[in-house]
Every structure is written in C-alpha cells, then in structure tokens.
C-alpha cells in the first residue's frame, strides 16, 4: 500500500493488539511436530497444494 | 539404521519440539500450573528416551558417553536420515 492509501484507508491508528493466550487443549507430540505448533489455536497454515513426499 | 532407532529419533524430535513450545508459553505464562506439569512430564519423558537411545545406539549428541572406538562418528548423520510421516 503506498502512502496515499494509508491516509484515506479504514485502518485506525495505533490499534494493534494480541489477545492473551490461555492454554486449552494441546496436540499430541507427533501431531504437534507435523503441525508446527503444540496449540490448535495457533495452527493457521497458508493453503498450498501438498505434493506427496516419498518415504 | 534399524526401524526402532528411527522411531526413537522421531519420538525424540517430537518431545524436544513440544518442550520448545511449552518453554515459549511458560515464558509469558509463568504461573500456569497445567503448562508446568505438561512441561515437566515431557522433560521426564525426554530423559527416558535419551537414556534408551544412548544405551542401545550410542551417543545422540557429542556430549554423550561413548564406547571405544568413538561412536559419535558412526553414521548416518542427521541430514542423511529419511524421516517421513507428516502426511
């Protein structure tokens, strides 16, 4: 976004926030390693075409 | 590399990863007792797995004990191991 957009756009200034995480359910270790996180609430992968990895 | 060794290495990776996660969570939630219990359970399991690995297959890291001749250089190296099982 170039500067022009920033001034007219809908973004409110200084409204960044990070809600405080409370640990709920956790993945099992094997699943956590594959998903890249222990916490389901933090699992948000970018969608991509998965190519099969040969074993 | 026999399958049990590979399974053990995989389990070690899984537990170590979870310990990184509980560590990061506990840094910002130091009095979360449930997280502390989970962390300690994983830490205990890691110690048991390390013991099982080193007694059966020799040193896992350069800081582990070794028979003679020096077993640490006995292959395969981590990057030569084909891990899979995430699909």
Q: Which domain holds residue B25?
A: 3-80
Q: What is the pLDDT of residue A50?
A: 67
Q: How many domains does chain B have?
A: 1
Using CA atoms, how far apart are residues A5 and B63, in angstroms rounded to an integer? 56
Please indicate whether, in this complex, the C-beta atoms of A21 and B25 are within 8 angstroms of each other: yes
Q: Does B65 touch chain A (CB under 8 A)?
A: no
Residue B86 within any structural domain of the chain: no
Among A26, A29, A55, select the one facing B84 at the smallest CB separation: A55
ipTM entry: 0.87
Residue B87 within any structural domain of the chain: no
Q: What is the pLDDT of residue B18?
A: 98
- Residue pLDDT, tens place only, A1-39: 566 666 667 777 888 888 999 999 999 999 999 999 999
Report the predicted TM-score, pTM, of the whole model to 2 decimal places: 0.81
């Amino acid at each position: 976004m170039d500067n022009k957009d920033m001034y007219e756009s809908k973004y409110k200034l200084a409204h960044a926030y990070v809600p405080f995480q409370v640990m709920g359910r956790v993945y099992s270790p094997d699943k956590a390693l594959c998903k890249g996180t222990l916490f389901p609430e933090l699992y948000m992968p970018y969608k991509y075409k998965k190519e099969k990895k040969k074993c | 590399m026999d399958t049990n060794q590979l399974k053990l290495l995989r389990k070690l990776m899984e537990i170590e990863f979870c310990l990184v996660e509980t560590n990061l969570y506990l840094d910002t939630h130091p009095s979360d007792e449930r997280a502390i219990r989970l962390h300690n359970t994983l830490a205990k399991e890691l110690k048991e797995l390390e013991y099982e690995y080193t007694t059966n297959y020799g040193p896992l890291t350069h800081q582990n004990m070794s028979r003679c001749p020096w077993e640490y250089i006995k292959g395969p190296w981590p990057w030569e191991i084909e891990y899979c099982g995430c699909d």
